[in-house]
Amino acid sequence: MPETQAFFFAKDDGSAPLLDWLDQLPTKVQDKCIVRIERLKRLGYELRRPNADQLRDGIYELRVRYGHVNYRILYFFHEGCAVISHGLIKKDVVPQREIELALARKAKFEQNPVKHTYKE
């Protein structure tokens, strides 16, 4: 199976929300998140629980647990590529406002993929 391309969503200022979030996390959590992203690249749509799950309306989550904390990375697919929106720490369920944020970013990305693809 060919590898799925993965991109980070870029805000209007060019920054990547996921990278900003990752920078604030402990190194071991960052490492686990990176492993999960690499797995998404290898498996794409085939990635399932316990590593990933579909939330709603084309928004998916990568699931990372470290200690007693649940970390989530929200993403969506665009033309067969995974676009990683942002990350969060989950308490009970992923808050609807976080899903709505990912949906808004998906809409922005679909309107202008070049502008909203993070460039290092």
HEC assignment per residue over 8-20: EECCCCCCCHHHH
Average pLDDT of the residues of the chain: 97
Q: Where are the domains of the chain?
A: 6-111
Q: How far is residue 34's CA from residue 51's CA, in Å, rounded to a whole number? A: 12
pLDDT of residue 1: 63
pTM of the model: 0.96
> Which CATH number, 3.40.190.10, 3.40.50.720, 3.30.2310.20, 3.40.50.2020, labels domain 6-111?
3.30.2310.20
Confidence at 2, pLDDT banded by 50, 70, 90 = confident
Q: pLDDT for 24-40, tens place per residue?
A: 999 999 999 999 999 99
Q: pLDDT for 49-87, tens place per residue?
A: 999 999 999 999 999 999 999 999 999 999 999 999 999
